[in-house]
């Protein structure tokens, strides 16, 4: 039985100018490489002056070599934190560039190359961080991949497994490895996504993993509250990072970000203060929350 509805009455063609937000480009390897992007994402806001909010803190940032992870690394360094970052083998040049940026602010950074899909690597990350610094205070879970598909029927078993193995499983691996060493006042911060709330027709599997991260955050925060460990997440909207140019077509990239009410994509540096807030004592009464930085796409949850 069909619900009665009026059909469209006719069609007309409307032509309008559409701004080009970025030069068309595509990279065949995911995650992509920041040094090949045009323009290079803006990771550091020269107007942001640190005030020692993270002085003496030690952080681990997964996927810290580029994009949001690089901006968080720089922001943490400005606030006085030392860190270890993880990256994939093909991302070494990006990781080395991040190292130079962090060290330019007088902080130490340990580069750890490996695959977070392997549970043993998370243990290695924590072990090497403790060997280097002797402590761990902040865990930022930021790794991720996405493979757009027009239909769920096009999502292969291999793609599904890779997306989940990269985006959500390491949250468990890293947290389990780090938790015995986290003291009261420590912070766990995940990178979720606006797609967990608004959905994304091309990213059914990716959006599902980000929804899982939201639930992971809320559930783990309840479990760890009694230990004085806060668990929160950030849900970015469209941000100009290597993930974009390595997952979408060059044609799609040309207008990336226009869907936001602000009519532009965000830059990585615009997210860093949110992570700093969640990592610092400024958010001492904040846990189980997801903070939205999305140019107005979602205004409530």
Q: What is the CATH classification number for the domain harbouring 77?
A: 3.40.50.720
**Which region holds residue 295: left if phi is over 0, alpha if psi is between -120 and 50, else beta?**
left
Domain count, the chain: 1
pTM of the model: 0.95
* Residue 128 forms part of a structural domain: yes
Q: What pLDDT, on the 0 to 100 scale, is given for residue 272?
A: 98
**Cα–Cα distance, 77 to 74 (Å, whole number):** 5
Q: Give the integer Cα–Cα distance in Å for 219 and 255.
A: 37
Is 9 a member of any domain? no
Helix (H) or strand (E) holding 68: helix 67-78
Residue 172 counted as domain residue:
yes
- Torsion-angle region of 52 (φ positive above 0: left; ψ -120 to 50: alpha; else: beta): left
Separation of alpha carbons 174 and 161, rounded Å: 18
> Is there a domain that residue 79 lies in?
yes
Residue 213 to residue 274: CA distance in whole angstroms: 17
Domain hosting residue 286, numbered range: 51-293
Catalytic position from the list 206, 248, 252, 277: 206
The question of whether 206 is a catalytic residue gets the answer yes
Q: What is the pLDDT along the chain (301 residues), one digit of tens a residue?
A: 678 887 877 888 878 888 999 999 999 999 899 999 999 999 999 999 999 999 999 999 999 999 999 999 999 999 999 999 999 999 999 999 999 999 999 999 999 999 999 999 999 999 999 999 999 999 999 999 999 999 999 999 999 999 999 999 999 999 999 999 999 999 999 999 999 999 999 999 999 999 999 999 999 999 999 999 999 999 999 999 999 999 999 999 999 999 999 999 999 999 999 999 999 999 999 999 999 999 999 776 6
Question: Cβ(50)–Cβ(78) under 8 Å?
Answer: yes
pLDDT confidence of residue 298: 76
- Note whether residue 215 is domain-resident: yes
43 is a domain residue? no
Strand duo 187-191 + 138-141: pairing: parallel
The DSSP code for 266 is: B
User: Is 32 contained in some domain?
Assistant: no
Q: Look at residue 4 in the predicted model and tell me its pLDDT.
A: 85
3-class SS of residue 41 = coil
């Amino acid at each position: 039985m069909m619900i009665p509805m009026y059909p469209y009455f006719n069609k007309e063609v409307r032509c309008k100018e559409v701004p080009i937000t970025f030069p068309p480009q595509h990279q065949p390897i995911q995650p992509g490489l920041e040094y090949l992007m045009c323009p290079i994402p803006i990771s550091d806001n020269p107007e942001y002056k640190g005030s020692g909010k993270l002085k003496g803190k030690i952080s681990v940032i997964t996927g810290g070599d580029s994009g949001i992870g690089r901006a968080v690394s720089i922001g943490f360094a400005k606030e006085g934190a030392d860190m270890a970052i993880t990256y994939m083998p093909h991302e070494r040049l990006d990781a080395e560039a991040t190292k130079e940026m962090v060290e330019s602010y007088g902080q130490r950074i340990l580069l750890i190359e490996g695959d977070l899909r392997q549970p043993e690597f998370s243990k290695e990350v924590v072990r090497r961080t403790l060997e280097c610094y002797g402590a761990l205070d902040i865990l930022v879970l930021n790794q991720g991949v996405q493979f757009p598909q027009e239909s769920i029927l096009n999502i292969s078993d291999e793609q599904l497994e890779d997306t989940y193995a990269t985006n959500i499983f390491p949250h468990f691996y890293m947290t389990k490895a780090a938790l015995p060493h986290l003291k009261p006042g420590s912070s766990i911060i995940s990178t979720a996504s606006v797609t967990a709330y608004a959905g994304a027709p091309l990213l059914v599997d990716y959006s599902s993993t980000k929804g899982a991260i939201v639930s992971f955050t809320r559930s783990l925060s309840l479990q760890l509250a009694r230990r004085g460990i806060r668990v929160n997440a950030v849900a970015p909207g469209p941000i100009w990072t290597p993930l974009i140019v390595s997952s979408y077509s060059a044609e799609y990239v040309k207008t990336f970000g226009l869907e936001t009410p602000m009519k532009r994509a965000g830059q990585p540096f615009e997210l860093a203060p949110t992570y700093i807030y969640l990592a610092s004592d400024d958010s001492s009464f904040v846990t189980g929350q997801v903070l939205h930085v999305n140019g107005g796409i979602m205004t409530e949850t």
